[in-house]
Structure formats: C-alpha cells, structure tokens
Amino acid sequence: MKSLKYSDTQTLEKISAWAQELGFSDLAVVDLEHPKNLSTPVERYKNWIEQGLHGEMKYLKDTIVVRGKPDKLLKGVKRAIMVSMNYLPKDSTSDWMVREINGLQTPEKASISVYARGKDYHRVMRKRLSKLAKRICLEVGSYGFRACVDSAPLLEVELAQKSGLGWRGKNTLLLKRNEGSFFFLGTLLTDMPLQITQNLTKNLCGTCTSCLDKCPTKAFISPYVLDAKKCISYLTIENKGIIDESLRHLIGNRVYGCDDCQLVCPWNKYAKLSALEEFNVKNGLDDVSLIDLFQWSETQFNYNHAGSPILRIGYERWLRNISIGLGNSANKKKVDGYVNNGAVSEIKKILKTRLNENKPILKPHLIWAIAQCDK
Ligand code: SF4
Ligand code: SF4
C-alpha cells in the first residue's frame, strides 16, 4: 500500500466510512488477482448462456470471456470494491409491502418495479462511486479505478457473494440478512492492494421456495437458475419486439419490471429505506392507473421520464406494456367476477384510439388487448 497515513485496516475502515457518507449501505472487498477464483461462476454463467436462457440479450453471450478476466476492464486490477445502496423510497411507510401487493391485485392500476420509480440508479451510483474513487486518491494515494454499475461485463452478484456482502438467493438476487434484497449493487475496480474482506455469508434460504412458487410466469427452471425469456422484467424491459401471447395474461398489470420474487422473500421484511432523495417516487408512479399512463403523449413520456431508467424502453414499448396491462385489466375483472362493463368499455375505447398509429410493435398487442375486452 502506498499510504503512509493509515494501516491497511484503517484504510479499509476509512473507505467504508466515506462510502457510507456517499449513501452506500455496505462495502466489502474481493480479491481479483487470482482469476481462477472466478472459474466456477464463469462456468455456471457459460452453461446458462449455452442453454439459451439469456433470451435476446446478445451482449451477455458476447462478453462471456471478459467476465472471467476483469483485468480486461482495468489493467492491473487487484480488487473489486463491492458496494450496496438501498433503494426503497425514503418516505415509504411501514406497510409498503402490503401496498405493493395490493397494487398488483388492483387490475386498473399500473405496477412499476420499485427500483424504477425515481432516478436512474446507474447514474446515481456511478457518480457516487467516482466520488469515492477521488476521495481515496486524495487521502490514500493515487491508484487506478473504474466504476461499474451494470455497465461492464462483471459477475456482480457472484463477486458480491465472494466479498461477503451477502448470499445469492434462490431467486438469483443477492440477499442480506439485515437488508433483504431491495438494494443496488455497484463495483469499483481498482489496482490498489486493499485489504480483502471475503468472509463468506451463510446461505439462509434454507428450505424456503416462496420465490420459485410465486413467480407468475414460472421463470425459474430450478433454484438459482432463471429462464430470462420468461421473466416479466425481461419481457417488459429487454424484449424489444412482440411479447409471446402465451405469456401476456401472466404479466397482469406489471408495466415495467416485476418485484414478485422479492416481495415474497421473508428477508425483505428487513429491507431498509434509501438514504437518498434520488430514489423518491416521481410522477406518482407508485399509485397510478393504466389508463392515465396510456394517455401520456410521447412528449409527456420523454419529459416525465427524463433521468429515469424507464426512458430506455422508449415510447412504443411503454405503450405495448400498458396495453397488455389494460387487456388483462378488462379480462381480469370478468374472471374475478366483478365485471364493470362501463370500465371495460372505457378501456376498449381508449385502446382503439391508438389503432391507427404507425407503431408496428404496439399494434398486435393492442389488437390482443381489445379482444380481451370482449372475453
Ligand atoms: S422478476 Fe417476476 S417474473 Fe421475473 S423471476 Fe422474479 S417473480 Fe418471476
Ligand atoms: S424467497 Fe426464500 S428461497 Fe427465495 S430468495 Fe428469499 S429466502 Fe431464498
């Protein structure tokens, strides 16, 4: 270590304290000097890709090799500093989970994944990781850093697990016993020979299978293995084209992402609120009707979602997802026995207003949704 000011342990303590000041809830360090440490997770990842479970996410396939060679991302890399950042909006009430579940069971409401209701976490975290790197350079010594938040080909959950931050749950997410899984992960790669933490956390999933049982599309082919092609997060965000008809009715009113496998996880009763304003809910996205969102113009979409992760799917896919929700809403009311013919007619009328728009992806979903109104 080049620092003359602090011992190795003090350096790690200082960096953890600076990370806390920047809004990160936890920090741990994993060794990257011995890439062989990554061979098992890389093999598992390769196997997952070979089964085609990544769907259309071609970049996941194209980056298999780099994932086992982090020195391709930062020359001479020695450590990955793994951080977590809680994202439950800071003003969430203690019954937030009940409210989320109620929202999913209210067909006329739009359900938007909790993480996507505020500012884009990629930007928020990258900015703060860069600040952390600057502070380390200033106070400890001049080292190389690269901040990565879902942007670089890394096996983030595996690295976080190795660092001792938490364990990888059967739902494939990182879990912490005192914080559940409602947090983002970020990585600061560095050539600094920082003290390693790596106290493996025990896997506390035990005999629980709630996430596997409750997944609406049965997207887990086994514990810890997700068929992304069936996952609603993939379908509503990554899928750029037509959503398979057999899956549409399972999507319910989920318009952007899905939190079901987190909401049923018992460890999420310990989920912590965010320390940052950035994840506050924008545009009332925690309590908004499908019809209201469907009526946003493209200008409103771009304006309202400026700085939000939702912007990346673009207006047409946004409408595609909402039209599926509206179709399900019209159908669901009948299935559940509280048919409201007035509401169904209103949905049908609103869906029809977009039939003549030149939107080839949206159109088949609109036609499907209109047909649901007549079922
Ligand atoms: S996000 Fe939703 S659809 Fe995807 S695996 Fe979890 S519960 Fe299933
Ligand atoms: S729901 Fe149960 S099995 Fe799934 S991640 Fe949580 S504790 Fe593990």
String of DSSP letters for 141-200: ----EEEESSSSS--HHHHHHHHTS-EE-TTSSEEBTTTBT-EEEEEEEESS-PPP---P
Helices (H) and strands (E) in the chain, counts: 16, 11
Tokens matching residue 309: 């992760």
> Which protein residues touch ligand 1 with a CB less than 6 Å away?
215-217, 219, 226, 231-233, 258, 260-261
CA of 362 to the centre of ligand 2 (A): 35
CA of 232 to the centre of ligand 1 (A): 6
Beta bridge partners of 148: 187
Beta bridge partners of 226: 220
Q: State the pLDDT at residue 34.
A: 79
111's CB contacts (< 8 A; 6+ apart) are: 100, 103, 104, 252, 253, 254, 255, 258, 325
SS3 2: coil
Q: What interhelical angle do 341-352 and 362-373 show, nearest 10?
A: 160
- Taking the CA of residue 268 as reference, the ligand 2 atom at the shortest distance is 6
Q: State the pLDDT at residue 333.
A: 55
Q: State the pLDDT at residue 174.
A: 98
- Taking the CA of residue 254 as reference, the ligand 1 atom at the shortest distance is 2
Tokens matching residue 175: 């879990």
pLDDT one-digit tens code per residue, 43-67: 899 999 999 999 888 888 888 888 8
Q: Which of 168, 211, 224 to mutate to test the pocket of ligand 2 (most atoms within 8 A of CB)?
A: 211
Q: State the pLDDT at residue 335.
A: 54
First and final CA of the chain: distance in angstroms?
69
pLDDT one-digit tens code per residue, 294-342: 999 999 999 999 999 999 999 999 999 999 999 999 986 555 545 477 7
- Taking the CA of residue 218 as reference, the ligand 1 atom at the shortest distance is 8
Q: State the pLDDT at residue 339.
A: 46
Q: State the pLDDT at residue 234.
A: 97
Residue 182: C-alpha distances to residues 75, 85, 327, 353 (Å): 32, 9, 30, 38
78 with 32: CB under 8 angstroms?
yes
Q: State the pLDDT at residue 4.
A: 58
| Cα gap 58→81, rounded to integer Å | 27
42 with 67: CB under 8 angstroms?
yes
Tokens matching residue 254: 């989920």
Please identify every stretch of the chain with a pLDDT value under 70, giving residue numbers as ranges.
Answer: 1-4, 35, 332-339
Q: Which of 267, 268, 269 to mutate to test the pocket of ligand 2 (most atoms within 8 A of CB)?
A: 267
Beta bridge partners of 225: 222
Phi-psi region of 114 (alpha: psi -120 to 50; beta: other; left: phi over 0): alpha
Q: State the pLDDT at residue 337.
A: 47
CA of 136 to the centre of ligand 1 (A): 38
Tokens matching residue 292: 């209201």
